[in-house]
Amino acid sequence: MEVLETISKFQINDRVMGYAPLGAGHINTTFLVKTKSTKWYVLQKINDVVFNNVNHLMKNIYRTTDFLKSKGYETLEVVKTKDNKLFYQDESGSYRLYLYIDNVVCYEGVNDLDMVYDVAKAFGLLHKSLCEFDASSLYEIIPNFHNTKYRYEQLLQAIKENKSNRVKDCLEEIEFFKKHEDNFSTIVDGIERGEIRLAVTHNDPKINNVLFDRESGNTRAVIDLDTVMPGSYLYDYGDALRSLFTGEYEDSKDLSKVGVDYPVFETYTKGYLSEMKGVLNEKEISLLPFAIYLISAELAMRFLSDFINGDVYFKTTYSEHNLVRARTQIKLASDIYEHLPQLNKIVEKCYKIS
Ligand code: ADP
Ligand code: GN1
Ligand code: MG
């Protein structure tokens, strides 16, 4: 790709001075585009292996960010191409341009509990701001992304096919899923019965997708909206805590540090409920801790299925990498499952004081 040539396809009025790689994202290729004025831009090559319908993806982003802006919420701002399209495409790939959100910092991990609270509030505010948006009108960018029941069927299929002859290496892990299989439909069935809201969700609620103001330290915007689609708030809440709990140990063989971090759990729950208390229903509140268990089990299934299938989805650097990752998530899921009564009590307390 010729970056300057690609930039010239978009509606930029100022003179472009140059560009440089930006951030440490794993999915897209991102550049900061500097101009002569104070208005800078972010050019991204969209990963079209992960996202095979860029048109749908950009429509979802455009519609939701437009809605957020109308509510006065700082968010990504799509800059269209000269022929008024949401993205530019040529034989080298698909590209989009955003306005650069300046004076911000992005973190790979949390430094303290204040930061946990702020991140939780940022994701809570995103959910709340979009709660009146008709989720069913959005495209499902990755079908069945958080459909744990479907993910379990995929695991059973992988076991049956045993393509890489690896089933013999993970019998204990498979046993975990067999024991827990009655739990995997809870959220999906709840959505189907109308007990759990089908909502607009982010689906990658990690700390490095939140931008903080460089001066005040306050959160400014939630970014990386590629996977914004219909889902349940429960999966986003659960996934955010799951990633905070595993932190740097997601790929580690050392399972001793993996488990519930109570101060992080309580602080995140308080921050999230400070925005979402009036939006979540009783059923959803009662399932908050369960959702962390379920999403951890779901990710464990995804890693294990990929291990059994011969490492075709997640990037791996050694042959047992996906198995090691699955074990971490199984350990976390088991730990949460054992402590559900305590965790539910903490949620009740947070709910009362929020
Ligand atoms: P990926 O899907 O690869 O994670 P992201 O959309 O999260 O890609 O972008 C990668 C990084 O680029 C972010 O973590 C952030 O540091 C930076 N970034 C992306 N968009 C913007 C923006 N509009 N303004 C400022 N920084 C941005
Ligand atoms: C993938 O690439 P990253 O880290 O943002 C995956 C998530 C998993 C995560 C686990 C599109 O996200 O669902 O939680 O790995 N994203 C996709 O590390 O599959
Ligand atoms: Mg990102």
Q: How much is the pLDDT for 48?
A: 86
Contact 128, 275 (CB under 8 A): yes
Is any atom of ligand 2 closer than 6 Å to the C-beta of 47? no
C-alpha separations of 95 from 43, 85, 204, 213 in Å: 7, 11, 20, 27
pTM for the full model?
Answer: 0.96
- Where would I find the H helices in the chain? 3-7, 54-70, 113-129, 148-161, 171-180, 186-192, 233-246, 262-276, 282-286, 288-309, 321-338, 340-353
> End-to-end distance of the chain based on CA atoms, in angstroms?
50
Hey, what are 132's tokens?
A: 């009146």
Which residues belong to CATH 3.90.1200 in the chain? Answer: 113-353
Q: Which ligand is nearest to the CA of 314?
A: 2
- For residues 174 and 305, give the distance between their C-alpha atoms in angstroms, rounded to a whole number: 10
Contact 108, 170 (CB under 8 A): no
**Ligand 3 centre distance from Cα of residue 156 (Å):** 31
Q: What is the pLDDT of residue 83?
A: 97
- 195 DSSP 8-state letter: S
Other CB atoms within 10 A of residue 293 CB: 25
Rounded distance between C-alpha atoms, residue 237 and residue 62, angstroms = 24
pLDDT tens for the chain, 354 residues: list them: 699 999 999 999 999 999 999 987 778 999 999 999 999 999 999 998 889 999 999 999 999 999 999 999 999 999 999 999 999 999 999 999 999 999 999 999 999 999 999 999 999 999 999 999 999 999 999 999 999 999 999 999 999 999 999 999 999 999 999 999 999 999 999 999 999 999 999 999 999 999 999 999 999 999 999 999 999 999 999 999 999 999 989 999 999 999 999 999 999 999 999 999 999 999 999 999 999 999 999 999 999 999 999 999 888 899 999 999 999 999 999 999 999 999 999 999 999 998
Q: Where do you find CATH 3.30.200.20 in the chain?
A: 3-102
Query: Does residue 167 have its Cβ closer than 6 Å to ligand 2?
Result: no
User: Closest Cα partner for 139 from 34, 61, 210?
Assistant: 61
What distance in Å separates the CA atoms of residue 338 and residue 293, rounded to the nearest whole number? 10
Phi, psi of 289 (to 5 degrees): -60, -40
Q: Does domain 113-353 have CATH number 3.90.1200?
A: yes
| pLDDT for 101 | 97
* Residue whose CA is at the smallest distance from ligand 1 atom 12: 23
Residue 36's SS3 state is coil
Whole-number Å distance between alpha carbons of 173 and 197: 32
Tokens of 347: 């949620």
Instruction: Please list every protein residue whose CB sits less than 6 Å from any atom of ligand 1.
Output: 22-23, 25-28, 30, 42, 76, 98, 100-101, 104, 106, 208-209, 223-224
The H or E element that residue 19 is part of is strand 16-21
DSSP sequence for 130-146: TTTS-GGGS--SSTTTT
Cα angle: 187, vertex 188, 189; to 5 degrees: 90
State the CATH architecture for 3-102: 2-Layer Sandwich (3.30)
Query: How many whole angstroms from 183 Cα to the centroid of ligand 1?
Result: 35
Plot region of 203 (φ>0 → left; ψ -120 to 50 → alpha; else → beta): left
Q: Output the CA 211–ligand 1 centroid distance in Å.
A: 9
Nearest-atom number in ligand 2 for the CA of 27 is: 2
- The Cα–Cα gap between 55 and 46 comes to 11
| pLDDT of 210 | 97
Q: Whose CA is nearest to atom 1 of ligand 1?
A: 25
